[in-house]
Amino acid sequence: MKQNIKKILAALVLAVTVLGLTACGNTASVEQQDMYDKEQLQSVADYLITLWTSMPEEEISQYASMDKEDAQMLIDTYGLPFTGDAFTSAFAGYEGSLEELGAYVSTDGYEDPEVKGDEVTFVADLTYKNRTARLSLVFNKRGVVESVTLDPKYSTGEILKKAGMNTILGMGTVFIVLIFISLVIYCFNFIPGNQAAKQETKPAPKPRPARKPAARPAAQSRENLVDDKELVAAITAAICAYSGASSDGFVVRSIRRADSSTWKRA
């Protein structure tokens, strides 16, 4: 591990020296030189691309996972034109895109530097085995790389496919969660405590109206008249007078009202 780091550091120092020679052939600082010199920016991009393609995946992974303090110490020691975050993120971004990009094929060209305030963005178009990519380096006013981005380019079909998969996954997740919530709510019906609460909340049944006592038959009320001795005696006398019989020959045991039709016939 230490030997590999030493080799990389030596290569970086050599590259920085070459960059200094290509920038007007003197040792003046970047601030004193033209920071928009396309050849100088191109040299930094080419060096980074060469460094990626010449390293095995194990070493790329080591630099991608390098501690921020170690990366900054490395940069300060050898005067590399990168910030600590830009150095580690450059390797991390390339490592994450290795599977999609494949092997390096060629550098197709460079775009003109784009100046925004104190920053300059330099873009290189690259071709890999599986697809093309866009390498963007952002330099500050001191000529130090603050950000490195490697963006693989996807076809319209691939973009639509990814968008469709994301939509299906998102909507599917929402529906699954809603179904699960519905099942949980439905299971509450089988909880004993919940059933008791429902029974308590049910409205009390309306009381039924009391039934009126049925009226006793008129015959029964009339039969009670047997206890009236005066009425019995009067009726007995009337019978005796009508039939001419003696009261000793019969006994009145009950008195009932006859139908009106019978009196009519009489």
Q: Could you read off the pLDDT of 162-194 as tens digits, one per residue?
A: 888 888 989 999 989 999 998 888 888 887 765
Q: Which two tokens stand for residue 198?
A: 């429902």
The yes-or-no verdict on residue 67 having pLDDT over 70 is yes
Q: pLDDT tens across 101-151, in order?
A: 999 999 999 999 998 888 999 999 999 999 999 999 999 888 889 999 999
Residue with tokens 């490195």: 148
CA separation for the pair 225, 219 (Å, rounded)? 10
Residue 127 has φ and ψ, to the nearest 5°, of -125, 125
Q: How far apart are CA 138 and CA 92, in angstroms?
A: 17
Q: Do 48 and 90 contact (CB within 8 A), yes or no?
A: yes
Cβ count within 10 A of residue 107: 16
What is the radius of gyration, based on Cα positions, of the chain?
A: 56
Per-residue pLDDT tens for 13-63?
Answer: 445 554 554 444 443 344 434 456 788 888 889 989 988 988 888 888 888
CA separation, residue 19 to residues 26, 107, 142 (Å): 10, 19, 14
* Residues making up the chain, counted from first to last: 266
User: Residue 92: pLDDT above 80?
Assistant: yes
- Compute the average pLDDT of residues 247-263: 64
β-bridge mates for residue 127, sequence order: 106, 132
- Let me know: does 147 contact 45? Beta carbons within 8 Å: no
